[in-house]
């Protein structure tokens, strides 16, 4: 009985740790958003000439891919016969998102939007690079969950699925905010 209680306590501690991690990451992105808003609302004209040729289709497709990956992860969390398929789709969509980001950086460069062109292009690259780095972390977490799923490990718990899901959905929300703030508004 004591080992079950200790195991339950560890699961709860891991859930709290993921929540604290997400709050920390949230504060990081909130600071970047605040800096962007301050720059934007103190600019005499918007958009500045440095980003007037901003690509629109790739960020839109990235948003669709992130939203779809959130849906597939949600379905993965449901304990059903489609779990392996949903894991595979989520992982592929995560890779597709990274490929779209790579395409975005190429399109930005082709449009003459370079980090060296000023503060606003630097912020656009910084946001997208930082988010892509977090996506890589999310894909590593997905690989871990995938190993547990495919090996039918008894250590796969709803807490583990939920914690990775919190992180994955968090990345989706952050991207949606970035998309709206940088590419739409």
Contact between 136 and 27 under an 8 Å Cβ cutoff? The reply is no
Q: What is the pLDDT of residue 159?
A: 84
Total domains in the chain come to 1
Asked if residues 64 and 155 have their Cβ atoms less than 8 Å apart, the reply is: no
> What's 84's domain CATH number?
1.20.120.80
- pLDDT, one tens digit per residue, over 166-183 is 999 999 999 999 999 999
The Cα 51–Cα 182 span in angstroms is 10
Q: What is the pLDDT of residue 157?
A: 79
Q: At what angle do helices 83-110 and 119-150 cross, to 10 degrees?
A: 160
Would you state the pLDDT for residue 8? 61
Low-confidence ranges of the chain (pLDDT < 50): none
Distance of CA 151 to the CA centre of its chain: 26
Per 3-state DSSP, the chain is made up of helix, strand and coil in percentages (nearest 5) of 85, 0, 15
pTM reported for the whole predicted model: 0.89
The parent domain of residue 132 ranges over 2-184
Q: Please state the φ and ψ torsions of residue 42, each to the nearest 5 degrees.
A: -100, 0
pLDDT tens-digit profile of 23-51?
999 999 999 999 999 999 998 888 888 89
Instruction: Give me the pLDDT at residue 161, please.
Output: 92
């Amino acid at each position: 009985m004591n080992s079950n209680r200790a195991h339950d306590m560890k699961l709860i501690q891991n859930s709290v740790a993921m929540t604290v991690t997400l709050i920390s990451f949230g504060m990081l992105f909130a600071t970047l958003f605040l800096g962007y808003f301050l720059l934007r609302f103190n600019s005499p004209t918007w958009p500045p000439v440095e980003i007037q040729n901003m690509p629109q289709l790739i960020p839109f497709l990235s948003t669709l891919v992130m939203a779809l990956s959130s849906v597939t992860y949600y379905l993965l969390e449901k304990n059903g016969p489609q779990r392996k398929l949903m894991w595979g789709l989520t992982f592929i969509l995560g890779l597709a998102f990274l490929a779209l980001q790579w395409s975005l950086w190429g399109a930005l460069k082709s449009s003459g939007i370079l980090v060296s062109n000023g503060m606003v292009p630097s912020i656009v690259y910084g946001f997208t690079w930082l988010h892509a780095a977090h996506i890589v972390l999310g894909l590593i977490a997905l690989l871990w969950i995938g190993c547990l799923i495919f090996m039918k490990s008894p250590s796969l718990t709803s807490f583990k699925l939920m914690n990775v899901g919190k992180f994955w959905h968090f990345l989706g929300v952050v991207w949606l905010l970035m998309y709206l703030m940088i590419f739409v508004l």
